[in-house]
Amino acid sequence: MKSRGDEEEYWNTSKFKAFTFDDDDDELKESKEAVKSLPQLSDQDDGDLVEKVSWSGEPVGSISWSVRETAAAAGGGTDGEPAFPSRIPADAPNVAKVNSGYSLSSLFKGRKAANVAAFADASGDPLGRILAPEIPKPKSEKQAVSLERFRCLQDKMRLLDWSVGTHDGNVITAVLISLKKSLSKEVLIGELASRQTALRHFLNYLSESGDEALLGDIYSALGRTEDAALLQYKRHLSIADEEKRRDFLKGCLSLQFSAEDQSQVRDQLSLLERQMVIEAADRQAERGGKVEIFQRFPRRASIPHMPLITTLYYCCFYHYDQPEGSFSSPLNVRQSFKISEKQFFVTALSARAKQKSWSDVDALFTSRSWLGFTRKKSPLAFQKVVDILHRNAAPVRVLQDYVGLVDDAEARMALAHQHKCHDLVINTYRDSKDRRLLLGYRGKVEAGSAAERKIDELLNDSQIRWKN
């Protein structure tokens, strides 16, 4: 544990610097001035050395620029008009259509063929014999190897192991695809269990190609239940309909998540269910046109699928005074989902400030003083409270209460100045008997205002012993 003293020392001695420009202000100004004052000697900004650049900054002639240009030309009504004069002679020879019933078997071509050949030549390998006739000497570019020729399981697995040895995901996948076709699920899973690399590629292949059923089977067979659960759970992202998503999430509860994920998914489901109830009721209320709040602040979006805190905000905004037993009561939401004090506080504060319910805001700070104290307490620094209130256009009379509660004297005065909390500033100067600063501040308040009158009264008060 760090002692208080340590912390103090840390704050006072560490060299954590503010990331400021120091006096660079002037430097930037200087270079700006220079740029401005430099004569524009020619009309053309682009000299010979300057690459031609379109406004978007892309050099004219770059690929992405051209894609846009040629596409625009094509889409520009004159359908089919070539963007560039065609240079093909009319009698251009037809490219012979090599119909390459491209299949698994033709994957080893070019360089890879050399690999296979090298592999096949490896001294007296039985696979070599199977492979050899398939590999023509490098006459044509494409060389095919038929994977179907690997008949017995042992050969198949040797092929798989060889493919893993290449580390080429493409080759491994190709072999796996053919194995998936020719082997039973159980046998394949059994063999893959002892071949981790191949297994990973197979899992990746299945998830990319959307074969979730088999993927789930494999995870379960290997005892990787958490992965299986997360994989299944991920599918909910693509379900937009709330009822379908709810049912899906219900199904997810039986999956074998880790304990903590399990409880989160349960919360997610219960949140969605709650949102649907609230949504149904509020939509009706809004349509009915009788509930004032929905008239005054029309809802901008529906609530299902929103995060929990957003939902809490919504409830603080539209249902602040609901009894605690109600589904839409903020306190009920808070209880049910164990929302932390700070989160609840900030959310309620923002929502009530947005509505300019300053009495609610006030109550947030005082309601917890069960001993009858009225001293305001906040789980959030008062500086941040002021920030939130200010963002919601709180009037000075509200702001100044909270500015006054800021701990740090310097920060407090800065905020008081910034938000024109005159009373605070004036009282501080009075208390510090600083006539000069008070006099200076007189110039900053509006002429004829109450603040000005107050300053004048103080300045004329003969009871005060000014220090300057």
Partner 1 sequence: MAAHLSYGRVNLNILREAARKELREFLDKCAGSKAIVWDEYLTGPFGLIAQYSLLKEHEVEKMFTLKTGRLPSADVKNIIFFVRPRLELMDIIAENVFNEDKLHSTRDFHILFVPRRSMLCEQRLKEQGVLGSFINIDEYILDLIPYDGDLLSMEYESAFRECYLENDQTSLYHTAKGLMTLQALYGTIPQIYGKGECARHVANMMLRMKREFAGIQNQILPVFDTLLLLDRNVDLLTPLATQLTYEGLIDEIYGITNGYVKLPPEKFAQKKQGEASKDLPTEPKKLQLNSAEELYAEIRDKNFNAVGAALSKKAKIISAAFEERHNAKTVGEIKQFVSQLPHMQAARSSLANHTSIAELIKDITTSEAFFDNLTVEQEFMTGVDTDKVNTYIEDRIAQKDPLIKILRLVCMQSVCNNGLKQKVLDHYKREILQTYGYEYILTLNNLEKGGLLKPQTSSRNNNPTIRKTLKLWMEDANEQNPNDISYVYSGYAPLSIRLTQLLARPGWRSIEEVLKMLPGPHFEERQQLPAGLHKKRQQGENRTTLVFFLGGVTYAEIAALRFLSQMEDSGMEYVIATTKLINGASWIKSLMDTPEAQMH
Mapping DSSP to helix (H, G, I), strand (E, B) and coil, where does residue 59 land? strand
Q: Which stretch binds partner 1 (CB under 8 A): 131-139, 217-225, 379-387, 411-419?
A: 379-387
Q: Which of 110/136 has CB closer to partner 1?
A: 110
Q: Which of residues 5-44 bind partner 1 (CB under 8 A)?
A: 10, 14-22, 24-28, 30-35, 37-42
Binding partner 1 (rule: CB under 8 A), the pick from 105, 146, 182, 197 is 197
Q: Which of 377/436 has CB closer to partner 1?
A: 377
Q: Which among 164, 171, 158, 157 is positioned nearest to 125, based on CA atoms? A: 158
47 binds partner 1 (CB under 8 A): yes
| DSSP-assigned beta bridge partners for residue 59 | 53
Q: Which of residues 105-134 bind partner 1 (CB under 8 A)?
A: 107, 114-115, 118
Residue in the block written with tokens 């625009």: 72
Q: Which of 176/426 has CB closer to partner 1?
A: 176
62 binds partner 1 (CB under 8 A): yes
Q: Which of 102/370 has CB closer to partner 1?
A: 102
Binding residues for partner 1, total number by CB under 8 A: 118
CA angle (463, 467, 468) in 5-degree steps: 110
Residue 86 backbone dihedrals phi, psi, to 5 degrees: -70, 135
Q: Which of 343/427 has CB closer to partner 1?
A: 343
Q: Which of residues 277-296 bind partner 1 (CB under 8 A)?
A: none
Q: Least distance in Å: CB of 97 to partner 1?
A: 6
- Provide CB contacts within 8 A for 415, sequence distance 6+: 383, 386, 403, 406, 421
Q: Which of 236/412 has CB closer to partner 1?
A: 236
Q: Which among 217, 228, 301, 219 is positioned nearest to 258, based on CA atoms? A: 228
93 binds partner 1 (CB under 8 A): yes
Query: Are residues 108 and 143 in contact, defined by beta-carbon separation less than 8 angstroms?
Result: yes
How far is the C-alpha of 392 from the C-alpha of 399, rounded, in Å?
11
65 binds partner 1 (CB under 8 A): yes
Q: Which of residues 308-347 bind partner 1 (CB under 8 A)?
A: 308-309, 337-340, 342-343, 346-347
95 binds partner 1 (CB under 8 A): yes
Residues, the chain: 468
97 binds partner 1 (CB under 8 A): yes
SS3 content of the chain, % helix, strand, coil (to 5): 60, 0, 40
Q: Least distance in Å: CB of 68 to partner 1?
A: 8
Residue in the block written with tokens 């299944």: 232
Sketch the per residue contact string, 393 through 432, with partner 1: x for CB under 8 A, - otherwise: ----------------------------------------
264 binds partner 1 (CB under 8 A): yes
Binding partner 1 (rule: CB under 8 A), the pick from 56, 123, 254, 460 is 56
Furthest-apart CA pair in the chain: how many Å? 115
Q: Least distance in Å: CB of 44 to partner 1?
A: 9
Query: Are residues 150 and 125 in contact, defined by beta-carbon separation less than 8 angstroms?
Result: no
Task: Judge residue 414's burial from the number of C-beta atoms within 10 Å of its C-beta, 0-12 exposed, 13-18 middle, 19 or more buried.
Answer: middle
CA angle (336, 370, 374) in 5-degree steps: 120
Query: Are residues 307 and 275 in contact, defined by beta-carbon separation less than 8 angstroms?
Result: no
Q: Which of 201/430 has CB closer to partner 1?
A: 201
Query: Encoding tokens for residue 286?
Result: 């809004």
